[in-house]
């Protein structure tokens, strides 16, 4: 059978970039900063990086044999990656709902965008910020609002003791402090 009639999997399947699961009936919440960051990435890929790669591929295609032309092969692969990321960002931005956490400034109840300090039963104090799925960065102490810790903390208040289900069993945590970015600053 001719190769033209077969579908080969080369790892570029769009299913690999399936959207992270959102709870049924909910929106893709983002902070204003998170939305701006995704939008900036989209525009950078669309207006800067993609045109550069198209130019390189066009130049490389003019150089003859494409089967052994590294610039052409790499450029085509990179174009597929950029296009896939653009489709992903388009879908995520289309369903995004920007939620400004600064409207809760001064509140002691935990909502989306809160920076929360809590204490575990063994006395360890931890601090996390509840963000959107597409913007949470665990290395910076940010968790997605659908993460188990965030789901337990949401709607709690300072002083509440909560039960967190962990792989090691149920852990008791106590909310110590809640803060939100001041209106107009974006920082808590």
Alpha-carbon distance of 175 to 156, in angstroms, equals: 8
- Which pLDDT tens digit goes with each residue over 17-57? 555 666 666 778 999 999 999 999 999 999 999 999 999 88
CB 128 within 8 A of CB 31: no
Instruction: Return all residues near 94 (Cβ < 8 A) that are at least 6 apart.
Output: none
Show pLDDT as tens, one digit a residue, over the chain (188 residues): 454 554 444 444 444 455 566 666 677 899 999 999 999 999 999 999 999 999 988 888 887 777 777 888 899 999 999 999 999 999 889 989 999 999 999 888 999 999 999 999 889 999 999 999 999 999 999 999 999 999 999 999 999 999 999 888 999 999 999 999 988 765 55
> Is the pTM for the entire model greater than 0.85?
no
CB 130 within 8 A of CB 118: no
Q: What integer pLDDT is reported at residue 9 of this predicted model? A: 46
Instruction: Return all residues near 48 (Cβ < 8 A) that are at least 6 apart.
Output: none
The DSSP result for 81-131, as a single string, is HHHHHHHHHHHHHHTEEE--GGGGTT--B--TT-EEEEEETTS-EEEEEEE
Domains of the chain: 27-98 (1.10.287.180), 101-179 (3.10.50.30)
Alpha-carbon distance of 48 to 40, in angstroms, equals: 11
Please, which contacts does 144-147 make with residues 24 or more away whose CB atoms are closer than 8 Å? Answer: 144/20, 145/29, 145/112, 146/21, 146/22, 146/23
């Amino acid at each position: 059978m001719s190769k033209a009639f077969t579908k080969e999997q080369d790892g570029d399947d769009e299913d690999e970039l399936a959207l992270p699961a959102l709870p049924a009936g909910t929106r893709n919440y983002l902070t204003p900063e998170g939305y701006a960051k995704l939008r900036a990435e989209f525009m950078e890929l669309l207006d800067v990086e993609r045109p550069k790669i198209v130019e390189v591929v066009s130049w490389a295609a003019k150089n003859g044999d494409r089967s052994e032309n590294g610039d052409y092969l790499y450029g085509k692969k990179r174009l597929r990656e950029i296009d896939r990321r653009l489709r992903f960002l388009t879908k995520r931005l289309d369903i995004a709902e920007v939620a400004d956490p600064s409207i809760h400034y001064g509140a002691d109840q935990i909502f989306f965008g809160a920076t929360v300090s809590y204490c575990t039963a063994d006395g360890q104090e931890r601090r996390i910020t509840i963000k959107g799925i597409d913007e949470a960065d665990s290395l910076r102490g940010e968790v997605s609002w659908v993460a188990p810790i965030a789901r337990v903390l949401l709607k709690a208040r300072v002083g509440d003791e909560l039960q967190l289900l962990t792989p090691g069993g149920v852990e008791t945590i106590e909310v110590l402090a809640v803060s939100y970015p001041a209106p107009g600053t974006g920082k808590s």
